[in-house]
A and B are shown apart, each in its own frame.
Chain A
Amino acid sequence: MSESDDKRSPRQLMLGLLFGIVFGFLLQKGGVAQYDVLIGALLLEDFTVFQIMLTAILVGMIGVFTMHALGFVKLHPKALKVGPNIIGGLLFGVGFGLSGYCPGTGATAMGQGNYDAWFAALGLLAGSYLYAEMSRKLDRTLGKWGDRGQLMATDLVNTPRALVVGAAALVIIAALVVVERV
């Protein structure tokens, strides 16, 4: 977390803005700034979201692990905290279903002209502050449940990383084929 405090140079601020513009542009062009498409994913009736996410994961995974193997980038794996991942994940999901957006697609929808997304964003601001109010207590309780550090699938097996990434790539491609045929 503290490393993000370094990302305040003019160069990094400009890069952040540029990356955001590209991200929002792509999400809108992909149709996932639309409430109907996002809810369609939750109803398992519209598979655009899954196709975009799985393809992004596939390309990003191969790219980032390759660049890491070549020494170009550092990895930033997320923490495995079983309790928070599940409870926070489910809460987030309920919010996803109610608002019909997630933080990134909601921001894109705001730009796209969906006025309801502006209220989702207000809710996101309020919820963030509410979390901050509870953060000390949550850190001491729920935050500790099932904390296993930054565990990656590549740490689970005693195999070269490239093999694990390759296997994951095959699984993702298989999932994409299944989704395409549904």
Chain B
Amino acid sequence: MSTHTPVPPIPLWRTRCRSAAPRGAILVLSILALAAVASAARLPAVAAIAVTAIADAPVRGEPAWSPYLVGALIGVLSMLTFYLSDTPIGVSTGYARVAGMLGKVVAPRHTESLAYYQKTRPIVDWEVMLLLGTVLGGVLAAGTGDQLTGEWLPPLWAATFGPDSQALRIATAFGGGLLLAVGARIAGGCTSGHGISGTLQLSIGSWIALICFFLGGAAVAFPMFRG
């Protein structure tokens, strides 16, 4: 029943393809590959933009900008997304849509049958572009600030678990990411969707979720690093 649902006309790259998933997945993957190469090779063509970079010499590891400036600008950015896109900032749904696009490549019918993907379609939309942009923004900012890390182990991790703990770090990062996604989907948002966009609208559920984010995080971080 769901195999022949009419698809609305989509501009640009998608003219004849019945399913957006493969092309969407390819687009997403290629942009990510680009970002990976850029950040790994520290090649930022971004260097060109370094001219406009803020003229401070950031100490490695120190935030380049004041948290109040960054926070205020994120507040202004939120106003702009409401005004120009009628959408609050929220990053986690982008991952879910990308996961659905990848799922459609492997098991199209099964993916389309899932309740979540019937509500939140696995397509390239504003949220997916926001996610991709966030990765690119990270490349740009780190490139202009000479803060590209190119590291497997964050300093605090290496100091606690040793310099040869790559496998443990990868497993922990993956498992943590998995729980982040399940938790965000159950809670209805993540640190940006609930933690900034929801709270700034004084949504009660968002304040509850935000507090639980930090409670759950502290319950893990204390035994890991201060246990």
Residues of A87-123 contacting chain B, CB below 8 A: 87-123
Interchain CA distance A165-B77 in the complex, whole Å: 19
Residues of B176-223 contacting chain A, CB below 8 A: 176-206, 208-222
Q: What's the nearest-Cβ distance from chain B to residue A113, in Å?
A: 4
Contact, CB under 8 Å: A61 / B202: yes
Contact, CB under 8 Å: A60 / B75: yes
* Chain B residues touching A, range: 35 or more
By beta carbon, the residue of chain A nearest B97 is A128
Name the prevailing secondary structure of the B interface residues. helix
Known: A123-B178, A135-B114, A139-B115. Is A56-B74 also a contact (CB below 8 A)? yes
Chain B 127-164 against A: per-residue CB contact (8 Å), 1 yes, 0 no? 11111111111111110010111111111110000000
Chain B 96-126 against A: per-residue CB contact (8 Å), 1 yes, 0 no? 1011101100000001001111011101111
Interface size counted on chain A using CB atoms at 8 A: 134
Interchain CA distance A114-B169 in the complex, whole Å: 12
**B45 interfacial by beta-carbon distance below 8 Å:** no
Contact, CB under 8 Å: A154 / B63: no
Contact, CB under 8 Å: A110 / B196: no
Q: What's the nearest-Cβ distance from chain A to residue B170, in Å?
A: 5
Interchain CA distance A17-B124 in the complex, whole Å: 11
Contact, CB under 8 Å: B205 / A85: yes
Q: What's the nearest-Cβ distance from chain B to residue A126, in Å?
A: 5
Contact, CB under 8 Å: A96 / B180: yes
Contact, CB under 8 Å: A26 / B77: yes
Contacts of A111 in B (CB 8 A): 35, 38-39, 134-142
Contact, CB under 8 Å: B183 / A57: no
Contacts of A19 in B (CB 8 A): 77, 80-81, 85, 89, 130, 133
Interchain CA distance A114-B61 in the complex, whole Å: 13
**B11 interfacial by beta-carbon distance below 8 Å:** yes
- Most A Cβ at <10 Å: residue of B124, B138, B186: B138
By beta carbon, the residue of chain A nearest B216 is A93
Contacts of B83 in A (CB 8 A): 67, 72-73
**A9 interfacial by beta-carbon distance below 8 Å:** yes
Contact, CB under 8 Å: A24 / B220: no
Contact, CB under 8 Å: B82 / A93: no
Contacts of B81 in A (CB 8 A): 15, 19
Contact, CB under 8 Å: A20 / B71: no
**B51 interfacial by beta-carbon distance below 8 Å:** no
For B87, give its contact among A4, A60, A101 (CB under 8 Å): A4
**A138 interfacial by beta-carbon distance below 8 Å:** yes
Interchain CA distance A100-B195 in the complex, whole Å: 16
**B26 interfacial by beta-carbon distance below 8 Å:** no
**B64 interfacial by beta-carbon distance below 8 Å:** yes
Known: A13-B125, A39-B221, A48-B63. Is A30-B70 also a contact (CB below 8 A)? yes
Told that A90-B219, A132-B96 touch, could you supply 6 new A-B pairs with CB distance under 8 A?
A23-B91, A24-B136, A73-B79, A97-B219, A101-B180, A152-B203
- A selection of 16 A-B contacts at a CB cut-off of 8 Å is A3-B86, A28-B145, A29-B65, A30-B63, A40-B156, A56-B75, A59-B71, A72-B83, A92-B213, A94-B220, A104-B191, A111-B35, A111-B137, A113-B149, A114-B151, A115-B40
